[in-house]
Amino acid sequence: MVGLKPSEVPPTTAVKFLGAGTAACFADLLTFPLDTAKVRLQIQGENQAARSTQYRGVLGTILTMVRTEGPCSPYKGLVAGLQRQMSFASVRIGLYDSVKQFYTPKGSDHCSITTRILAGCTTGAMAVTCAQPTDVVKIRFQASVHTGPGSNRKYSGTMDAYRTIAREEGVRGLWKGTLPNITRNAIINCAEMVTYDIIKEKLLNYHLLTDNFPCHFVSAFGAGFCATVVASPVDVVKTRYMNSPPGQYRSPFDCMLKMVTQEGPTAFYKGFTPSFLRLGAWNVVMFVTYEQLKRALMKVQMLRESPF
C-alpha cells in the first residue's frame, strides 16, 4: 500500500460491507417519501381503507397523505426501512464483488455477464433471507392509513409491529412474501449491480469519464432505470401480498392472477413513476455516497496502518 492513494487501494470486504449499509441508509433518508408514495399507489384499489382516499401521481399522493394523515406520514416505517438497509444493502451490495470473484474462474482476467448475474442473484437472495422481517414491517407501516386521532392504529411502534405480527400470524408471518421478494430482489440486484458495473467499466475503459462523480452518477442513473423496468411487476405483487391480511391470497401466484383478472395487466405497473423516481434517486445517492465512503474508509485504514 506504500505510495498508493486511497482511491487506488482495493477496498476490503469489511469496508464495502459497512460502506454499502451506511450509504443505503443515507439514500433511504432522502428518498423514503417516494417509496411510501409508490406503496400507496401499488395497493390502491386493493382494500377498503385505501379506496376511501384516491391518490393521483407521486406529488399528489404525498400531498394527500400530508393533508389527511399529517406531515410525518410519508416517513411511516422509516425505522424499519433503515434496519432493512443496514442488514440488506450491506449484503447485496457490500458482498457483490467478493461473490463475483468467487464465481470467476481461476486465472481469468475477464468477468463475464453470466458471472455478474450469478453474483447479483446470490447476494440478492442472501440479503432477503436476512432482512425479510424488516421489509414486512416497513410495508405494513407504509400501507396503513390513519386519518385522525380516532382512527385505528394497529402498531404502536416498530418493535411492537414485530411482536404483533409474530403473535397474530406466527413467526412465519415475518417472512411472508419471501419467495416473491427473493425473485424481486434477485432481479433488482442483477439490474442494479450488473448495469452499474458494466456502465462504469465501459466509461472508464473507453476513457469517456474518470472514476469520479459524473461517472458514478451516469452509471447509477442507468442502473435505477433498468431495475425499475424489469422489477416493477414483481414489486407490485410483493407489496400486495406482504400487505394482505391472512387468507386474502393463497399464494403470490394467486395474488398475481387476481390482479390480472380484476384490474388488468396494467396493474403490474401501478406506481411505476414513483418507483423510477425512487430507484433512480436512490441509486444515484447510494452509489455516489458508497464510492466516497469506500475511499474515506480506506484512507482512515491506511492512516491507522501507517508507521508515521
DSSP codes, 170-238: -GGGGGTTHHHHHHHHHHHHIIIIIHHHHHHHHHHHTTSS-SSHHHHHHHHHHHHHHHHHHHHHHHHHH
Residue 277 pLDDT exceeds 50: yes
Residue 190 pLDDT exceeds 50: yes
pLDDT 10s digits, 161-185:
999 999 999 988 899 888 878 887 8
CA–CA separation, 218 vs 16, rounded Å? 21
pLDDT 10s digits, 11-21:
889 999 999 99
Residue (of 54, 65, 38) closest to 271 by Cα position? 38
Q: What is the reported pLDDT for 250?
A: 87
Q: What is the reported pLDDT for 194?
A: 92
Q: What is the reported pLDDT for 4?
A: 45
Q: Identify the band that residue 107 occupies on the pLDDT scale cut at 50, 70 and 90.
A: confident
Q: What is the reported pLDDT for 123?
A: 94
pLDDT 10s digits, 205-220:
999 999 899 999 999 9
Residue 193 pLDDT exceeds 50: yes
Q: Which of 43-47, 178-182, 286-290, 294-298 has the least mean pLDDT? A: 43-47
Q: Which of 35-39, 60-64, 106-110 has the least mean pLDDT? A: 106-110
DSSP codes, 102-169: HHSPTT-----HHHHHHHHHHHHHHHHHHHHHHHHHHHHHHH----STTS--S-SSHHHHHHHHHHHH
Residue 127 pLDDT exceeds 90: yes
CA–CA separation, 42 vs 68, rounded Å? 19
Q: Identify the band that residue 276 occupies on the pLDDT scale cut at 50, 70 and 90.
A: confident
Q: What is the mean pLDDT of the chain?
A: 85
pLDDT 10s digits, 247-274:
888 888 899 999 999 999 888 888 788 7
Residue 52 pLDDT exceeds 90: no
